[in-house]
Amino acid sequence: LLFAYDPAKRLARLKVNLEKAVVNARMIYEILDMEDKQRDAAGAAALVVDGGEIEFENVDFNYGDGTAVLHALSFKADSHKTTALVGPSGAGKSTVISLIQRFYDPSSGSILIDSQNIDNVTKSSLRQQIAFVSQQAYLFEGSIMDNIRYGRPDATDAEIIKAAELANAHQFILQQSAGYDTPVGENGVTLSGGQRQRVSIARAIVRNAPILLLDEATSALDNESERLVQDALEKVMKGRTTIVVAHRLSTIVNADKIIVINDGQVVETGTHASLSKKKNGMYARLNHLGKGGKAALDIE
Ligand code: ATP
């Protein structure tokens, strides 16, 4: 009886592993600049980044089902500054982050980095200049060391440890059974949400790219973990051009510029101080509803 159902069980396990492999391959491609369907233009040059200013000019976009997601979206993220995108769920904030990395191309309008249209540069040179920290904080099969090294495959062990220290991850890593060699992922140790986030921040630090894209987590962490993640993020944002899909009040309040997006359009731009004064503005409404809670300024 055991042998009779064993192959089916093995098959089931194989299927799970295959699915996982697909997910991993896609995530690895996102980080390691492998091929995808957005082709380089003929004669595309390498992106040359100076300050890393990012500009959207009248960008229209839909995911292919005909429903417009972004409508003539225009804004500028200044070099070396932090720009926070806020707005209701479904407004198009994460889509903006995807378009900057050319996971998709606009249907019209342009996206410029230091005045170069990203359509006309090689994708690999574009992604080399970008570190992306997503709210899921993915970990791959492998050691903690491997997971940080995904940020830049030729990083030395010393550089990885330095990045982990800056990301407030070094201490908890040392407490694991095999330190930096401790396996994580499906067959490894389970890290808490805050620990995973700090590993992915270390990955971004080791990448050392001038542009940082951050999709901030919506799920609340406990206070200590929250403080460590926030502190690590502040360090990685320093000196870089950062665009953050912001959910935390502290991130939004500290941003150099806030872009309020609703229904794929920019409805307001300013700082926390200037936007809070516009009593009937969308930001003031979002802000009011967020009062008291440390996360989620989203309305609806
Ligand atoms: P949230 O704060 O909830 O993450 P958001 O402002 O980031 O929202 P987006 O994730 O950019 O919004 O989504 C904008 C719109 O595009 C939504 O209507 C969403 O359903 C749709 N959308 C997002 N991703 C895809 C996709 N891969 N395929 C089709 N539609 C999508």
ipTM (interface predicted TM): 0.96
Burial of 109 (0-12, 13-18, 19+ CB in 10 A): middle
- The finding on whether 179 has its CB within 6 A of some atom of ligand 1 is no
Tokens (6 digits) for 273: 């101080």
Q: Give the C-alpha separation, 133 to 235, whole Å.
A: 14
Ligand 1 mean position to 90 CA, how many Å? Answer: 5
| Confidence bin at 21 (pLDDT 50/70/90) | very low
| Tens digit of each residue's pLDDT (9 = 90 or more) over 75-130 | 999 999 999 999 998 999 999 999 999 988 999 999 999 999 999 999 889 988 99
> What is the residue with the minimal CA distance to atom 19 of ligand 1?
90
User: Is 99 a pocket residue for ligand 1 (Cβ < 6 Å)?
Assistant: no
Among the residue ranges 48-52, 59-63, 225-229, the one predicted with the least confidence is 225-229
> For 53-68, what is the mean pLDDT?
92
Check pocket membership of 17 for ligand 1, CB cut-off 6 A. Answer: no
Half-sphere exposure of 224 (CA within 13 A, CB side): 4
| 3-state class (DSSP) for residue 117 | strand
Identify the pLDDT of residue 177.
92
Q: How far is the CA of 87 from the centre of ligand 1 (A)?
A: 12
Cβ pair 29, 188 in contact under 8 A: no
Centre of ligand 1 from the C-alpha of residue 289, in Å: 22
Residues forming a β-bridge with 113: 54, 116
Nearest-CA residue for ligand 1 atom 17 is 90
- Sorted by sequence, the CB contacts under 8 Å of residue 53 that are 6+ apart come out as 76, 77, 78, 79, 112, 113, 114, 115, 241
Q: Which atom of ligand 1 is nearest to the CA of 64?
A: 29
* Nearest-CA residue for atom 10 of ligand 1: 94
Distance from the alpha carbon of residue 95 to the mean position of ligand 1, in angstroms: 6
